[in-house]
Amino acid sequence: MEEFASETDSDYTSYWRDWFVSSRGNEYFCEIDEEYLTDRFNLTGLNTEVHYYQHALDLVNDVFDLDCDDEMREAIEKSARHLYGLVHARYIVTTRGLAKMLDKYKKADFGKCPRVICDSHPLLPMGQSDIPHQKAVKMYCAKCEDIYNPKATRHATIDGAYFGSSFHNILFQVYPALIPEKSRARHMPRVFGFKVHVAAALARWQDGVRVEQQRGLREAGVENAAFLEDEGEVADEEDGFGQGGEQGGEDSREGGCRGRWGHGGGEGVKNVHES
C-alpha cells in the first residue's frame, strides 16, 4: 500500500484502473469499462457510501487534478479503491462484465478448488454479503457448489461485497453450458482398508438424500439432473438405509459380512433362539 501512494504521488496518474487491476493482490478484479464508470446511473447511491466521492471518482477516471497534501491524497485513494470495488460488484453482472470475468474464470485466474474430488475445478470469487465491511471474499466452486477461503492471504482481505453474492450464480444462469457435470464421487475414510462406520453411515444417508432429490427432479421433469458416474469412490454400492430399499441394502451388507465371517452365521442364529 505504501508503494501505491508513492507511485501515484508522481506525475504518473493516467490509467488508474489499469494500474489497479494489474497490481498484486487485485488479481480477482477485472477492468471496468470507462463508459460504465462515467454513466451516473450505474453509480446510484454510491456517493453516500464512499467518502470524497467526487475526488475518488475523478481518480478512478484519471481526471484527478486536486492539489492536496499526502494525507488527503491517501484518503482519497482508499476511497477510490473502495469505490472501484463497489462499482465492480455491479459491473460484473452486466453482459460485458460477465464476459470479462468468464475469461478470467476459464484461465483459472481465481484459483482452483482445493477439494481433491473436484479435480482442480476453477473457482469464482463471491461475497457472502452485498454490504461492504462484512465478510471477506470467498471462492465458489461450481462443481461441489461450496465456498472456500482464498488460498493466499493477500486475497483474504478483499471485501466480499466487491463481488457480491449473486454474480457467480448469474454467470451460470447466463452461460448454462458452463455448468460442470456434478460428480457422485466422494472421499471415503478408511482404516486398514475398512470403511469407518460413522462416516460410511453418513455417506449412505447422504446418498439417500441425493436419490430423493434426483427422484424429485425427475418427477418435476427437470433435465440435467443426472450425476457423472465417474472415477473415485461412489458410496452407492451398498445403497442402504433411508431409501426405501432397506431390504436390498441389508442383503448386500450382510453379503459383505458373510464373505468375511462366513462361519459366524450359525452361531448367531443359535444365539437368537437362546434369548
Partner 1 sequence: MSVTSSQSPESWISSFCSLIGHEYFAEVSEDFIEDDFNLTGLQSQVPMYKDALEMILDVEPSETGSSAISDEEEEEEDDGLLGEEQDEPGRRRTSHETRRHMRAGSDASVIESSAELLYGLIHARFITSRPGIQQMLEKYELGHFGHCPRVFCSGVKVLPVGRTDTPGQETVKLFCPGCLDVYTPPNSRFQAVDGAFFGTTFGCLFFMTFPDLDLSPRSLRHRTAEEDSSAITAQQNNSDTVVTASRSSSLTLPSAPGMPPTAQIYPTRKEEPIILPEQPATINGMATSNVAPGLGKGKIYEPRIYGFRVSERAKGGPRMRWLRSKPLDINEIDESRIWHAKYGGDPDGDPVAPVDETAGEGNGDGDGDGGGEDAVMASVTGQSQSQQTEGISVPAGQGQGQQGAAAATTVAGRRKAPMRRSKGRGRMGEGLDGGGVGGG
Interface with partner 1 in residues 188-207 (CB under 8 A): 189-202, 204-207
Complex with partner 1: residue 30 or 139, whichever CB lies closer: 139
- By CB under 8 A, tell whether 108 contacts partner 1: no
- By CB under 8 A, tell whether 12 contacts partner 1: no
Complex with partner 1: residue 12 or 206, whichever CB lies closer: 206
| Contact between residue 205 and residue 250 where contact means Cβ atoms under 8 Å apart | no
C-alpha cell at 106: 476459464
What does the alpha-carbon distance between residue 207 and residue 221 come to, in Å, rounded to a whole number? 21
What does the alpha-carbon distance between residue 221 and residue 153 come to, in Å, rounded to a whole number? 44
Minimum CB distance to partner 1, residue 96 (Å): 19
Minimum CB distance to partner 1, residue 131 (Å): 5
- By CB under 8 A, tell whether 176 contacts partner 1: yes
Which residues make beta-bridge pairs with 141?
123, 146
- By CB under 8 A, tell whether 146 contacts partner 1: yes
Strand 190-191 to 146-148 pairing: unpaired
Among 3, 45, 67, 69, binds partner 1 (CB under 8 A): 45
DSSP H/E element including 72: helix 70-91
Complex with partner 1: residue 12 or 157, whichever CB lies closer: 157
Q: Where does this chain touch partner 1 (CB under 8 A) — which range of 15-23, 33-41, 94-102, 216-224?
A: 216-224
Q: Where does this chain touch partner 1 (CB under 8 A) — which range of 11-19, 32-40, 60-68, 254-262?
A: 254-262
Minimum CB distance to partner 1, residue 11 (Å): 26
- By CB under 8 A, tell whether 66 contacts partner 1: no
- By CB under 8 A, tell whether 102 contacts partner 1: no
Residue 273: left if φ>0, alpha if ψ -120 to 50, beta else—which one?
alpha
Residue 81: left if φ>0, alpha if ψ -120 to 50, beta else—which one?
alpha
**How long is the chain?**
275
| Contact between residue 188 and residue 202 where contact means Cβ atoms under 8 Å apart | no
Complex with partner 1: residue 14 or 270, whichever CB lies closer: 270
